[in-house]
Amino acid sequence: MSGRKAGIRAGAAISCVLLLGGCGGAGNNGSARHEPVTVAKAPAQLPVPRGKGSKSADDFNGDGLRDLVLNDLVKSPDDAHGDDAGIGIVYGTGAGAGAGAGAGTTHGLAPGARQLLNPARQAARTKGRSPAVFDAEASCDLDRDGFTDLVVSTDPPYDGQGRPPVPLQILFGSPAGLTGRAVRLVIPAAARAGNDWPDQPVCGDFDGDGAEDLVVHASDGRLSYLRGPFTRKGAPRAAGKPLPSPGTVPTGPALDVNRDGYDDLLVRTAEGPATSALVLGSPAGPTRTGTALPSGIDVALGPFGRGRALDAAVGSMDGTSLRYDLPTAVRDSISTPGSVLDAGDFDGDGVSELVSSGAELRILRGRTTGLSATGMVTVPPPARGTTRVLTVADFTGDGRADLVVRTYDGETKDTVAVYAGSKEALVTAKPTVTFSTSEFLGMNS
């Protein structure tokens, strides 16, 4: 199987700004709205809150609050080279991240309300065997029941002859979260092309009918387009011939770049430094190639100024190249270190900030005239080690994005930290939530 991973924003190549927000920075004077939960005093495991269904993104239990997905959990020191532990889910709760620790009633992530998705328990088996690989790839409500579903990649057996099997599976959300076994994603033979592994799933409403669709890499510059809604057996409503593609790496999240009512997606020509292009949605799906973007390591989309359409920022080692008001190819540039980008409206003013990470994590302010390095915020790492951005999204429901980062100290130690969005300072000076993925070790979810 190809080693490519779309990721569930643990380094995905494109960021949706309209839905995201929030970073913390050094030198700001924001204050946390509730006491941070440190790793040492993280609450004991709590039951997953039961929901009734919602339209919120990444809301697996349908209670209206966004949940966090974690791949590559740290391992036990006694099993540092063992199999992947699985996928971690941290649920949002109305009691906030300090649930069980006397933190009040602020909405937010609650490390105590956590769930471990293990391939032995949750994956669909092939010939009676569970897969060894079980990685989160994309999330959306595929069956339109009000509960977000999770698309995961696996490693089904393949003898190298002919067309490989579909490695993708779907875990369906429910009032209790992601429960039960996954089902295999059905990709009709007519929707496939060539003999590449069908991977890189991207969710989006590409035909504008209100149902979430899936786009999956096929082969030979083609995309498999699967129209939603999907059945509980993993089958799409319809799927036609593969669509032409300007590259081989479809990248999420998808969003309506030109505001025509159809979601669009970014497709890169390769992993790593590469050119990319927008593929525009239509009543027939993502059929038209739009604006081409220059070569870069990462791309972030969002309203960085006051314009009708979105803007694109391309991160490279030489700085950040910007194209304003997509799909028009108007170019500008700013000089900022860091090649991995994300974006979100941290102060809730309707204009997005740009997060640039490399040796340091910085936030450039979005203004009505565009991005500005004036007043740039530097975010201090929450612990010793290598810090990476996990996601930018509104976990508290206050209309401002929050920044979630992860600091690694080898394979057995890490710290996940949430910096809440701040109207005055973009993000809080200190994390409002911290925990370690080691808390998932030994769980029997």
Q: How many CB atoms lie within 10 A of CB 137?
A: 25
Choose between 245 and 357: higher pLDDT. Answer: 245
**Where does residue 238 rank: exposed (0-12), middle (13-18), buried (19+ CB within 10 A)?**
middle
- The whole-chain average pLDDT of the chain stands at 85
- pLDDT for the residue numbered 62: 96
How far is residue 117's CA from residue 131's CA, in Å, rounded to a whole number?
Answer: 13
Average pLDDT of the residues in 146-152: 98
pLDDT beyond 80 at 16: no
Residue 154 pLDDT level (bands cut at 50, 70, 90): very high
pLDDT in tens, 388-429: 999 999 999 999 999 999 999 888 899 999 999 999 899 999
| Centroid of chain to Cα 349 | 23
- pLDDT for the residue numbered 98: 40
- pLDDT for the residue numbered 330: 67
pLDDT beyond 70 at 240: yes
Choose between 374 and 131: higher pLDDT. Answer: 131
Average pLDDT of the residues in 309-325: 82
- pLDDT for the residue numbered 370: 79
pTM over 0.95: no
Which contiguous run of DSSP H or E holds residue 120?
helix 119-122
pLDDT in tens, 349-363: 999 999 988 888 999
- The dihedral built from the CA positions of residue 196, 233, 125 and 121, taken in this order, carries a sign that is positive
pLDDT beyond 50 at 65: yes
pLDDT beyond 90 at 166: yes
3-state secondary structure 382-444: CCCCEEEEEEEECCCCCCCCEEEEEEECCCCCEEEEEECEECCCEECCCCCEEECHHHHCCCC
- Go through 346-359 and write b for each residue having 16 or more CB atoms within 10 A of its CB, e for each that does not: bbbeebbbbbbbee
- pLDDT for the residue numbered 203: 98
Assigned token pair, 85: 């532990």
Cis? peptide before 229, omega within 30° of 0 = yes
Cis? peptide before 327, omega within 30° of 0 = yes
How far is residue 200's CA from residue 223's CA, in Å, rounded to a whole number?
Answer: 10
Choose between 341 and 445: higher pLDDT. Answer: 341
DSSP class of residue 60 equals T
- pLDDT for the residue numbered 310: 85
CA distances to 49, 84, 148, 297, 298 from 71, rounded to whole Å, are 22, 9, 17, 21, 20
- pLDDT for the residue numbered 80: 58
| Amino acid identity at 135 | D
Contact yes or no for 193/219 (Cβ under 8 A): yes
The SS3 assignment for 322 reads strand
- pLDDT for the residue numbered 337: 66
3-state secondary structure 148-212: CEEEEECCCCCCCCCCCCCCEEEECCCCCCCCCCCEECCCCHHHCCCCCCCCCCEEECCCCCCCC
DSSP letters, 71-107, are -S----GGGTTS----EEEEEEETT-TTTTTT--S--
- pLDDT for the residue numbered 329: 60
Which of 15-29, 180-194, 374-388, 415-429 has the least mean pLDDT? Answer: 15-29
All residues at 6 or more sequence positions from 201 whose CB lies less than 8 Å from its CB, including other chains: 6, 137, 138, 151, 168, 185, 214, 215, 216, 252
Nearest to 200, CA basis, from 372, 30, 389, 1? 1
- pLDDT for the residue numbered 32: 31
How far is residue 261's CA from residue 270's CA, in Å, rounded to a whole number?
Answer: 28
How far is residue 418's CA from residue 432's CA, in Å, rounded to a whole number?
Answer: 6
